[in-house]
Amino acid sequence: MAQALNYYLDHFGLRERPFALAPDPEFLFWSPEHRGAYAMLDYGLSTRAPITLLTGEIGAGKTTLLHHFIDTMDDAVTIGMISNARPGVNDVLRRVCAALGLDVPAGGDSADLFAVIQTFLLDEHRKGNRVLLVIDEAQNLNRDALEDLRMLTNINAGRDEVLQLLLVGQPELRAMVRRADLIQFAQRVAASYHLPKLDAAATGGYIASRIRQAGGNPNIFSRQAADLVHQATGGVPRLINQLCDLALTYAFAEDATMVKRETVACVLRDGVFFGVSDPPEG
């Protein structure tokens, strides 16, 4: 398998796979929407927004953008990361302690955990550090968990709030926060952005950008091929990656130096791409 991958890369003059599925900040594509999302994340951090929301469809590129954002932070920001909130999680304070590297008292209840976190936050503030708690897949949190998190944002040192939350999740997170029984939580949200799918033009730019980043010719995919990729994937970056990787494999097998519309259509006809239920006609 490794040898086959080397042939694939050599054939197209690539240093690495341009369409790997794992989030990689080096391959971040700066569409206008991604720039807007990044600007809002930066705004939330710099203005000490108690809670910032970033939402988007599955595979829209939220995690890649998030990793880039975290990579650019200075040392004065202490970051705790809960990378995959579990559905209906009830032990969110315990997970916050783990994310911040805090020792939890054996048999401690919620009040004990809250006290441990509060002590840590105030200590960090005295050191001149800000604390950012990032929760990915936050749509899985239940109401009680969100309320526990809101209470943490109420901790302050004089006029300074000592904890900022960044919640990242699917669109239902935004709908959940707007519920009447979470109005106090919603009132703490000072920055938010919804990352949409890519349009046809941005899909073409995304494909070219990733190939260029991998060391290849950004024009490997014809415009017609990129248009069909967009039609089949709806502009979801994760699905674009899957389909483009398969299309490059097909083109390599055919000893072609370009990916044309017919190559993408062949992938769709063969049923090896599972990101679409009704493949468009080639």
> Residues 170-197: pLDDT tens digits?
999 999 999 999 999 999 999 999 999 9
**Partners of 168 in the beta sheet?**
54
The helix/strand/coil state of 194 is strand
Domains 32-195 and 198-270 equal at CATH topology level: no
Q: Report the CATH architecture of 198-270.
A: Orthogonal Bundle (1.10)
CATH class, domain 32-195, is: alpha beta
C-alpha closest to that of 60 among 150, 157, 173: 173
Spell out the residues 6+ positions from residue 137 whose beta carbon is closer than 8 angstroms to its own: 83, 84, 85, 168, 169, 170
Determine the pLDDT at residue 109. 87
DSSP 156: E
Spell out the residues 6+ positions from residue 105 whose beta carbon is closer than 8 angstroms to its own: 112, 116
Compute the distance between CA of residue 229 and CA of residue 8 in angstroms, rounded to an integer.
20
The encoded tokens of residue 280 equal: 């468009």
Compute the distance between CA of residue 140 and CA of residue 124 in angstroms, rounded to an integer.
29
Determine the pLDDT at residue 1. 46
Sign of the C-alpha dihedral computed for residues 137, 143, 148 and 151 taken in this order? positive
pTM, rounded to two decimals: 0.87
User: How far is C-alpha 104 from the geometric centre of its chain's CA atoms?
Assistant: 29
Spell out the residues 6+ positions from residue 17 whose beta carbon is closer than 8 angstroms to its own: 5, 8, 9, 214, 245
Spell out the residues 6+ positions from residue 108 whose beta carbon is closer than 8 angstroms to its own: 116
Question: 21: how many CB neighbours lie within 10 A of its CB?
Answer: 12
Compute the distance between CA of residue 123 and CA of residue 210 in angstroms, rounded to an integer.
43
What residue ranges do the domains of the chain occupy? 32-195, 198-270
Determine the pLDDT at residue 160. 85
> Which residue shows structure tokens 């941005």?
202
The encoded tokens of residue 86 equal: 């579990």
Compute the distance between CA of residue 163 and CA of residue 145 in angstroms, rounded to an integer.
16
Q: Which residues of the chain have pLDDT under 50?
A: 1, 277
